[in-house]
């Protein structure tokens, strides 16, 4: 989840610098703002939305297939074992089932 925010901020900074340099070539200031908002939507927000959907589907797939989803140490939004602070995947259970406790 943190990588989505990191790449979003990085893309926004690149868009901001690039359009700030291109600001001198645009005659109408209102057109520049319109182009800025559409560029931010296309380059920053849309890829972040796609990455979040991919992350969300991965978390839902883990919830269905791993025994960690029924443990009280499982943080569902992050697919994280809070007891060991490790990511849960379909191939890796952080505690190997030894620390499992019912919710």
- As for how many domains the chain has, the answer is 2
Residues 7 and 57 in one domain: yes
Predicted TM-score (pTM) of this structure: 0.73
The DSSP-derived string for 42-92 is: IIIIHHHHHHHHHHHHHHHHHHHH-GGGGBTTEETTTTEETTTTEE--SS-
Buried-exposed string 68-96: b where 16+ CB fall within 10 A, e elsewhere: bbebebbeeeebbbeeeeeebeeeebbee
pLDDT bracket for residue 54 (50, 70, 90):
very high
Do 77 and 33 sit in the same domain of this protein? no
The token pair that represents 45 in the structure block: 């927000």
Provide the residue range defining the domain that includes 88: 66-103
The confidence score (pLDDT) of residue 31 equals: 84
């Amino acid at each position: 989840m943190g990588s989505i925010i990191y790449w979003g901020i990085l893309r926004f900074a690149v868009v901001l610098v690039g359009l700030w340099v291109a600001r001198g070539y645009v005659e109408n200031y209102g057109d520049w703002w319109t182009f800025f908002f559409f560029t931010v939507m296309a380059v920053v927000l849309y890829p972040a939305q796609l990455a979040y959907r991919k992350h969300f589907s991965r978390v839902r797939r883990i919830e269905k297939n791993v025994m960690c989803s029924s443990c009280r140490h499982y943080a569902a939004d992050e697919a994280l074992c809070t007891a060991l602070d490790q990511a849960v995947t379909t191939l890796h259970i952080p505690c190997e089932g030894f620390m499992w406790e019912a919710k």
